[in-house]
Chains A and B, each alone.
Chain A
Amino acid sequence: MKTFNRFIALTKRILSRRIYISILLLIVVLTGVYKILPEKSQSADIKVALYNEDSSGYYEDLLAHLSERNSIYNFYNVSDKEQLLTDVKSGYAECGYVIPEGFFLAYASGTAWNDPIKLYITPSSTFHSVINETVFSSLLNVCAEDTLLHAVNNHRWNKELADGLERYRNSEDVFTIADSTEGEFTFQSMVYHIDLPITETISILLLFAGLLGLLLFLHDKERKMYVALDSKELFQIKFLSIITSIIPVLLVGMVSLTVTFGLGEHILFALAVAVASLIISIILSLIIRKSTLLEKVLPLIMLTALIAVFIKTII
């Protein structure tokens, strides 16, 4: 009965702390935000950014040819190079092409290696080598006439070469491959909730709650509140102090996880984190016996935990 009364008293005390109330509110707000925010739809098409510095006028033909093709890639023009880099770096575009001044004519004459196209990718880009085939076949199509005239290099033949090229490329005499797919590919629109790190936040807060319980116990001990107790009872108070700090966060966290993800492994995970938090706090209480030291170390522990969770998320 005495233990139960202590448990109730310590629970009441922790629930009267403003910082603790903020922790519980944070979980409720996160869950509310997750539920209230409208579902976001996003197309998963493969976007390719193009930026042109060439003034010969061929770029418009290239863009027109690329957009006329039944391409799986979505080519779009950007007005400045910074935008192209931002789109590639953020993952919005799979890759980005910067076409330098004078490229088209240099390509037709075969000297474009002097100042080639710059293809910007990131380690996440996977399709750039196949996208190259689409871009370069369109490029050759746009520059086909100049390429031929340059190769033959006989100005008196220019008109008949150009007419002949035009005639053949539109005829059935040359090699073509029929489209083996069925019309334009429509990427399935993905509808999803904004991914809030609710499980991670609850894990961090459970650890914080355990350490806060320990800190409050150390404060009370330094105020000589438990001076009459023997070591066994002192350990019981310490244990209760930590566990009463963890339980409300665990309960609110479990409700939050159920509302967010439904009943399942997330609940078991939260329970496991709560037990881990209890064990860590007990172990730390054996090493740290002064509240001032814990006040200094606690932010460092929280920082390490935050970094560990973040690294786990990105890896």
Chain B
Amino acid sequence: MNKLKFLGRLITADLKRLKNYIVSILIAALIISGICGFAGSVIAKNVYKQGTKEIIGIGYYLPEDGKEEMNNMGITMLQEMESMKSTANLIQVSSPEEGYELLEKEEILYLVIVPEKFISSIMNGTNTPLEIVVWDNSSVSSYIANEMFISYAMYLGLAQSAVYSTIDAAYAHDLTKEERNQIRTTVNLTYLDRALNKDSFFDIIDGSNQGKANLLQHYLASAVMLSLIFMSFVLMPHLQGYNKAMQTKFSTMGIGKFHMILSGWISSLVALYISYLLCFVGISIITNSFNPLGLVTAIPSLMAIGLIISLVANLTGSLFTANMTMLILGICIAYVGGGILPNAMLPSIVQQISGFMPGKYIIANLATALFGL
């Protein structure tokens, strides 16, 4: 009974002593959360480096065959394709010789020499061969361009096959010229739709933002976790405030290490809650959203961090050792929990142990609490 009474007194005394640290806690919370929040937002923006790729120069020669309008329509259709827009730079040359010069200067990788009446030859099925000159057919760029051309040709070849098959069937069933034209146009337009309107058949989703919290929310939650862990730099003198003489006196009253850890845990929890409030208000203002439930749901994370701080404070000999231990521990917890690099980018062994470490769960819990996910 006496032991419990003394423990109660110890906890009360620790909480009273904590009052002296309130200003330091608030200032430190501002500084540390500022540093960690800045780092979190920078990492969120840069962790996936913007990809860069080489734009492939493709030269083309269009003949003066009286079908310029049709040829230009074909080129415009090609230019409008997303793959062409993002990968290639189409350059018209006035003569094949000019094209060869550009090839030699390596300003273009491919030269497409369009023969006379090319488009009409596709329409009537004679398919005059297209001449494609490649400067270097061994580079990645040339393989990518080659694959694009083959894909375009596949669309065209399939559309032709479908149209020819339809016309054959129409003749076999004695359709009138008007009916044949109508059915051919329908088939033509159908295949044109599949080749040109690809964008309507898929949705592009940024995979880096997939999951419960998006990348920024994840990193802000991670920054809050790190800020709370590093609040230990301020709390350590408070938690290690009893000298050897005091500790000996405590032990005569039955208060041992376990009780001191327990008391330290409770005062850490209070201090962390104050720091969390500051982060909570800051993030609510920045994101212009308020999730009152988050004031309660974050408590398990605060308890976990408080316990770690109290354990380190009571199990290490000096302030310096305790602070350095918390620095290393905080970074390890954040790294293994996916708070520094996304979980998917971590080595597979780290991903496997991540589930057994607190970081992953603390970040998820804080993200839920802060953003109401």
Measured CB to CB, the closest approach of chain B to A41, in angstroms, equals 17
Which of A122, A157, A161 has the most chain B CB atoms closer than 10 A to its own CB? A122
User: B interface, how many residues as a size bin?
Assistant: 35 or more
Q: Does A147 contact B (CB under 8 A)?
A: yes
State in angstroms the CA–CA spacing of A90 and B342 once bound together.
8
* CB-defined contacts of B150 to chain A, threshold 8 Å: 69, 137, 177, 179
Interface string of B259-291 (1 = CB under 8 A from A): 000000000000000000000000000000000
Tell me which of A97, A148, A299, A310 contacts B39 (CB under 8 A): A310
Measured CB to CB, the closest approach of chain A to B168, in angstroms, equals 5
Tell me which of A69, A88, A315 contacts B207 (CB under 8 A): A88
- Closest-by-CB residue of A relative to B190 is A151
State in angstroms the CA–CA spacing of A164 and B166 once bound together.
8
Measured CB to CB, the closest approach of chain B to A79, in angstroms, equals 17
Q: Does A120 contact B (CB under 8 A)?
A: yes
Of A53-61, A165-173, A238-246, A253-261, the segment with at least 4 beta carbons within 8 Å of chain B is A165-173
Tell me which of A72, A107, A169, A300 contacts B147 (CB under 8 A): A72
* CB-defined contacts of B324 to chain A, threshold 8 Å: 19, 298-299, 302
Interface string of A276-315 (1 = CB under 8 A from B): 0000000000000000100110111011101100110011
State in angstroms the CA–CA spacing of A175 and B163 once bound together.
13
Q: Does A180 contact B (CB under 8 A)?
A: yes
Tell me which of A86, A160, A173 contacts B127 (CB under 8 A): A173
Q: A85-B210, A117-B202, A147-B191 are in contact. Are A181 and B142 (CB under 8 A)?
A: yes
* Contact between chains at B237 and A296 (CB < 8 Å): yes
Q: Does B155 contact A (CB under 8 A)?
A: yes
Of A124-132, A222-230, A262-270, the segment with at least 4 beta carbons within 8 Å of chain B is A124-132
* Contact between chains at A152 and B147 (CB < 8 Å): no
User: A interface, how many residues as a size bin?
Assistant: 35 or more
Of A5-13, A28-36, A108-116, A195-203, the segment with at least 4 beta carbons within 8 Å of chain B is A108-116
* Contact between chains at A300 and B233 (CB < 8 Å): yes
* SS class, residues of chain B in contact with chain A: helix
* Contact between chains at B50 and A165 (CB < 8 Å): no
Q: Does B213 contact A (CB under 8 A)?
A: no
* Contact between chains at A117 and B201 (CB < 8 Å): yes
State in angstroms the CA–CA spacing of A88 and B344 once bound together.
9
* CB-defined contacts of A130 to chain B, threshold 8 Å: 83, 86-87, 144, 147-148
Q: Does B22 contact A (CB under 8 A)?
A: no
Tell me which of A123, A148, A298 contacts B162 (CB under 8 A): A148
Measured CB to CB, the closest approach of chain B to A294, in angstroms, equals 9
* Contact between chains at A179 and B146 (CB < 8 Å): yes
Instruction: List 11 additional contacts besides A89-B342, A134-B151, A296-B237; criterion CB under 8 Å.
Output: A72-B143, A120-B206, A122-B208, A124-B51, A152-B186, A174-B156, A174-B157, A177-B152, A302-B327, A303-B32, A307-B39
- What are 18 contact pairs spanning A and B, CB under 8 A? A85-B207, A89-B210, A90-B342, A91-B345, A112-B200, A116-B202, A119-B202, A124-B49, A132-B82, A133-B151, A136-B151, A137-B155, A152-B187, A160-B168, A173-B125, A185-B143, A292-B237, A303-B32
Binding site for A on B (CB under 8 A): 31-32, 35-36, 39, 42-43, 46-53, 81-83, 85-87, 110, 122, 125, 127, 130, 132, 134, 137-138, 140, 142-144, 146-158, 160-162, 164-166, 168-169, 172-173, 183, 186-187, 190-191, 193-195, 198, 200-208, 210-211, 230, 233-234, 236-237, 319-320, 323-324, 326-327, 331, 340, 342, 344-345
Binding site for B on A (CB under 8 A): 19, 69, 71-73, 85-91, 96-97, 107, 110, 112-113, 116-130, 132-134, 136-138, 140-141, 144, 147-148, 150-152, 157, 160-161, 163-165, 167-169, 173-177, 179-182, 185, 187, 215, 292, 295-296, 298-300, 302-304, 306-307, 310-311, 314-315
